[in-house]
A and B are shown apart, each in its own frame.
Chain A
């Protein structure tokens, strides 16, 4: 058994079993409470720059299934597990989790008390951490940890966004469909999860994905019927280019923002964002739909949030901001809309993957906005 180390910013050092790639990597450590879905988590670009720890101990049990990836590769810095299982079992799986991590150069560690670390993060808040599956000199590692950048103020969108625009035509079942004559949605890729794209195709759209730096002019040139600004990693405040683009787009077309997209829309409208103590990362978060009173169980992954009062205070030229979704446990803002200009913003992940499908209806709402706009024009 090769030794692996996990160092936390507060000085604690955990020794476990080294897995995955032999390397040393630092990042912000967050925990994810989903009991299934490790593969979707790994490939969610929003975890770029982070070390993700799963709270459920047995990870790797169903291997890696080729259809379950959410982006072109995993962007996270490291992966922490309680009890990794090399012997996987699932009819779709084609390889083990660790072989997959190795391919992408990601270090992992297991056989450590993930619950203790979870409690630490809960109490002390998100912190920097370092995984080493190579170097064993703790003193050296501590120096490296000190050099790891903090999350606040980091623009990671550039690392994950696509290099060039592309079209997407796979639906929710993974089938390729002809989308040529459909209404057109342009997705601003801040680190988009494939399941957002699949849902859009599922709603009957033609989908084009563009890099986050694409200007509003270039976007409008694609003649979209709607814009979706995607999820993604890092601090929203520093994603200036995209915020600028959005400022020019809001009001012209139906816009939907998801996760980072929700935050970027808020910023574009003039609201404020802030960093949560340890964020929401899991697939069991209850959200109250303030319009219907109903509860959705949602998939979440956000370390930053929008200050609801700052949003309500804004006198937008587009009409009133309506708060639509609220976290049932801590009352964090989870969604808003500006009905008059067909703007929908959702902090969590209606595309799920991993997680429950309770919020798929939001894509329908977005589709309805676009449809009504097309009709009126």
Chain B
């Protein structure tokens, strides 16, 4: 049956900003879906607030809206675009939720928009706990035993059906708080009493504990003819208890016999039918009791998901693309398998390698939170690796993490057995380290299994690694035979690891390997275990037999990707790599991509001519370069990950295209760079370096407070602080860092009341095009990645703009930049300072490209390849006459006890963009898109530091005019009243109750504007910030933000939210 002709246009909802649990896998899915729908001739309309996505590039949809993903905004888009259908399954939970809202409010019916890909009743049945349970019982699929009770006596009765241990979950507490385990009768009685009390409706759910059961996931597809296929089976290394997103997972399943697997498959087919997913993908999670094989279904998602992206990359089967085609009426047997071309999509992929996914965490940014992994996902990214056996696969994945782990290894051997067993028992992101130490120490697999619940199969496979390590402890490299070295390589030992084992350099190992002819071979990911000929160059390395990669003699360039997403290096860099690859192809080069992040668009095999899914280490990259012999390598688009490799690559004789490694390092070296700037007569904030306490005192004599201090040995803004006076400085030195000749501290003058400015430019070494000048909205001192910014700037005088352009061009020329250049300036009064220079693509490249609607990546790639930059042409290009604001999105809610205050250390995971003719409105829209739903009426809490009081009066007046009641604490209230503004008083937290936090908890505050100065005041306001976060109350910490939000609220009251199509701007 062919596609549907009764629908002509389709609206697709993206997933919005990158947040924990919803990352760029939805850009990958959505981009695939858009391409698929276009291919079929449908008119596509996209809404997504995230500018750092490929899907929001204007060429991917007929109408692109970078607008908040709210029912309000989407209704306006629907009204304008009049789509026939809405595809809600590509935008994660965000997409489904907003689609449900649009359905429930009658919008879809009103505008006659049909939901395709998932029906509302299916979504509800899958997502409502009780409805799902009932559906499962109806079709005889077992679920965890559970019972809702309202009295203590009822609870005690339940134990007859559900034996201990059990989980007790009080109903309707905030954020699911209060769920606990009871292992014995006494604990049970206690927890039931507490739970009943904690629940506002005196209700607790008693649920059977499935802790340490084995966990599996099936990725499914079903079409309207009821053809159902399993795309991939995933087995979790970490047993039940850790969120799948935080678990190490492996594909295919390893410890299921066919009999058991077919039970899961039968259930999955039945579940797809009962829930009613009739044209798309779903994933279904199971738990299996390892003792008796009892199976229960945990949950299902009736949409594409993080796991389906992983499954697509793991098998080569493009789930999202096919799901989109099923949604418009195709059936699986009509659609080709892209990889084999001759076979159809209606089959079940079979793979002949082992896939391992490991999540990547950033706990060091959230030090107050516990690191024990649990049901709340906290991973910020993930890596995937493929190998011909599990040890090889997991070791490659560990290298891909870039966490300084030497494969499966550790330096924890000093811990004694008891300590190690304590450590492995707790699931944390460091558990692999402790497992390694435990296995090296000789702790029995059975003991480790009992402690961890990790299936013995995995532990035995890990033991293969440690056994080899131990075996070669006493053997010198000279006596290692070809077979032995090959076995080590096959098991995933890198040259680096071997060099440590044998006490030689990596070169010695590599030479021995090369002499013996031990080279990696590259195998194809082909969905069919080589049964059919395949045409896709999607490759991974291993040490087995023939190589299937077919390097050509064409002009070709290797692009190094950015590895796993982490805070500070996210989807923006993948965006750049994808465009680099597409641009290369456009310019007649073959593009070869190396990356290891399964969530990304760059690891879609469609994007490059050859995709090597490999760790970004020296060895893995060098082997590919040796095989491909490219004309050059591009390192400037993937963030720090490729830059770290550039010197090495150059030393091996492969040209780095674009800005030289030397220039990149010059810009990063503090002293060299200071010298360059001083030669150019460009100012930096004064700074000094102190090797002792005495020197600190000397410096403080010369430099005025406030000062920015940080240890010299930590990168990326960690442990950086602004100190206001000598006391704070002493405290910082005592508590945070100890100054010594080996560990000096860096002291910079902190530019108070300055405006930070971010500049992205492209240069060919001679001519420079300043592509974007962005003005930060947060005060200086907040990491640029965490600052909202506006483009074009709103309060920077023309002569300063000229000065910025001139200085940027001068620096570009001096550093001989060929490609991108990012500079951070600070403007204090009329005085322009340079804070930092990065001669590479920055985080803001996609934002600037979208705002200016210019294909900056294409221009940069041309320059990188040696073309001259036509600055005139670029400067004369017409750009939209709109303001664009970028706002960050933070993960604080997932981290207990964490303060939301911003500083020099970056904490945001993603970003959104707001567009409007008025910058304040653009800012307001960005806030809404970031989840700060600006209220249109209600009560505002206003409390500002002394310096801000004068200007706060204006804001107070305006927001009152807008109909809000203003609440202030003592100081602000008195000041405002003296200015004739009538406000309500409210207690500070330490002034006694009821205080401001009480009011917030009671839903009496709708908006918070709070600026602070000094450590004391920051500490005092912590509970306000945390409460605002937990109650989702919009919160502004700068007057600039507060003032813009006030203006935006007025505008929203008057005109409502206006939406803009990128293609119209």
Contacts and interface: CB of A to CB of B under 8 A. Distances in A.
Interface string A139-173: 00000000000000000000000000000000000
A72 interface: no
A122 B531 contact: yes
B352 A68 contact: no
Contact of B265 (A33, A35, A92, A357): A357
Interface in A49-72: 55-58, 61-62, 65, 67-68
Interface stretch (A230-238, A291-299, A304-312): A291-299
A134 interface: no
Nearest to A352: B262
Interface in A339-361: 352-357
Contacts of B366: none
A179 interface: no
Contacts of B354: 57-58
Given A33-B350, A57-B388, A87-B457, A354 B258 contact: yes
Contacts of B266: 357
Nearest to A278: B531
Interface stretch (B149-157, B249-257, B756-764): B249-257
Contact of B342 (A34, A112, A329): A329
Interface in B541-587: 544-546, 548
Given A33-B531, A89-B457, A353-B258, A297 B350 contact: no
Nearest to A82: B388
Contacts of B290: 91
Given A62-B256, A91-B291, A56 B344 contact: no
A118 B455 CA distance: 31
B447 interface: no
B737 interface: no
B617 interface: no
A308 B533 CA distance: 25
Contacts of B254: 58, 61
A213 interface: no
A296 to B, nearest CB: 8
Contacts of A88: 457
A328 B545 contact: no
A57 B353 contact: yes
A369 to B, nearest CB: 24
Contact of B255 (A89, A288, A353, A355): A89
A299 to B, nearest CB: 9
Contact of B262 (A61, A82, A356): A356
Contacts of A93: 257
B227 interface: yes
A271 B532 CA distance: 28
Given A116-B545, A286-B344, A355 B258 contact: yes
Interface string A271-287: 00000000000111110
B546 A56 contact: no
B347 interface: yes
B257 A36 contact: yes
Interface residues of A, number: 55
Contact of B347 (A85, A89, A112, A285): A285
A235 to B, nearest CB: 23
Contacts of B227: 294-295
Which of B254, B290, B455 has its CB near the most chain A CB atoms (within 10 A)? B254
B529 A85 contact: no
A57 B347 contact: no
B155 to A, nearest CB: 31
Contacts of B163: none
B186 interface: no
B528 interface: yes
Contact of B456 (A89, A293, A352): A89
A293 B353 CA distance: 33
Nearest to B343: A329
B389 interface: yes
The interface residues of chain B, by DSSP majority, are classed as loop
A36 B349 CA distance: 13
Interface string A107-135: 00001111110110010000000000000
B544 A55 contact: no
Interface in A14-71: 31, 33-37, 39-40, 55-58, 61-62, 65, 67-68
B347 A116 contact: no
Nearest to A284: B348
Interface in B739-781: none
A83 interface: yes
A376 interface: no
A65 to B, nearest CB: 6
A90 interface: yes
B226 interface: yes
A276 to B, nearest CB: 12
B523 A115 contact: yes
A328 B226 CA distance: 16
Max count, chain A CB within 10 A of own CB: residue among B229, B257, B262, B292: B257
B229 A33 contact: no
A118 B531 contact: yes
Nearest to B490: A111
B346 interface: yes
Contact of A56 (B229, B292, B348, B350): B350
A25 to B, nearest CB: 23
Contacts of A286: 333, 343-344, 346-347
Interface in B384-402: 388-390
Contact of A297 (B293, B348, B353, B528): B348
Contacts of B260: 90
B351 interface: yes
A251 to B, nearest CB: 34
Given A58-B354, A284-B350, A328-B347, A113 B259 contact: no
Contact of B530 (A65, A67, A118): A118
Nearest to A14: B545
Interface string B483-517: 00000001000000000000000000000000000
Contacts of B455: 89
B332 interface: yes
B262 A118 contact: no
A326 to B, nearest CB: 11
Contact of A295 (B252, B346, B460): B346
B529 A55 contact: yes
B870 to A, nearest CB: 49
Given A40-B258, A329-B344, A354-B258, A115 B352 contact: yes
B545 A35 contact: no
A44 B460 CA distance: 30
Nearest to A285: B347
Contacts of A40: 258
B171 to A, nearest CB: 35
Nearest to A39: B257
Contact of B389 (A31, A58, A354): A58
A328 to B, nearest CB: 5
B16 to A, nearest CB: 36
Interface in A313-349: 328-330
Interface string B256-288: 111111100110000000000000000000000
B369 interface: no
A330 B344 CA distance: 10
Q: Which 9 A-B pairs have the closest CB atoms?
A: A113-B545, A37-B258, A87-B460, A89-B457, A354-B258, A55-B529, A284-B348, A116-B545, A36-B258
Given A62-B255, A82-B388, A112-B544, 9 more contacts: A39-B257, A55-B530, A68-B258, A115-B545, A118-B352, A284-B350, A286-B344, A288-B333, A329-B532
Interface of A: 31, 33-37, 39-40, 55-58, 61-62, 65, 67-68, 82-83, 85, 87-93, 111-116, 118-119, 122, 282-286, 288, 293-295, 297, 328-330, 352-357
20 contacts: A33-B352, A56-B350, A56-B352, A62-B256, A62-B457, A65-B259, A115-B352, A115-B523, A122-B533, A282-B531, A284-B347, A284-B348, A284-B350, A288-B333, A295-B333, A297-B229, A328-B346, A353-B258, A354-B258, A357-B265
